[in-house]
Amino acid sequence: MKQLHSIEELDQFIGEGGKRLLFKHSTVCPISTAAHDEYQAYLQGADIPAAMILVREDRPVSNEVESRFGVKHESPQIFLIDNGEVKWHTSHWKITKQAIGEAVNA
């Protein structure tokens, strides 16, 4: 999983096409830590490009996701992006290994 630090890295990640997962994570939030664990658990058995944005450390990138996709910022938050479009997103306790798998396989 790659960490995105700039809007250029976000552009490159999204521009590569196909299905990919993007996770917005707050390192100071226990709910986000639990969601991050679920995300990591899903990725262990998955073959899908994945990235993460640390919302406090890389705020401009996090804000760009909200602006670009028109999805209100939450943290934690996950997006399934397919060919540059958000196909699914959720946040907080709804981020589970099972929910991610169901979204990717839908």
**Which residue range(s) make up the domain with 41?**
2-105
Helix (H) / strand (E) element for 23: namely strand 19-25
pLDDT one-digit tens code per residue, 14-41: 999 899 999 999 999 999 999 999 999 9
Sequence-separated (6 or more) residues with CB below 8 Å from residue 24: 52, 53, 55, 62, 65, 73, 74, 75, 76, 77, 78
- In order along its 106 residues, the chain shows pLDDT tens digits of 899 999 999 999 999 989 999 999 999 999 999 999 999 999 998 999 999 999 999 999 999 999 999 999 999 999 999 999 999 999 999 999 999 999 999 9
Whichever domain contains 6, its CATH number is: 3.40.30.10
For residue 94, the 8-state DSSP code is G
Q: Which pTM value belongs to this model?
A: 0.96
How many Cα atoms are found within 13 Å in the side-chain-facing hemisphere of 47?
A: 0
Instruction: Tell which phi-psi region holds residue 84, choosing left (phi > 0), alpha (psi between -120 and 50) or beta.
Output: left
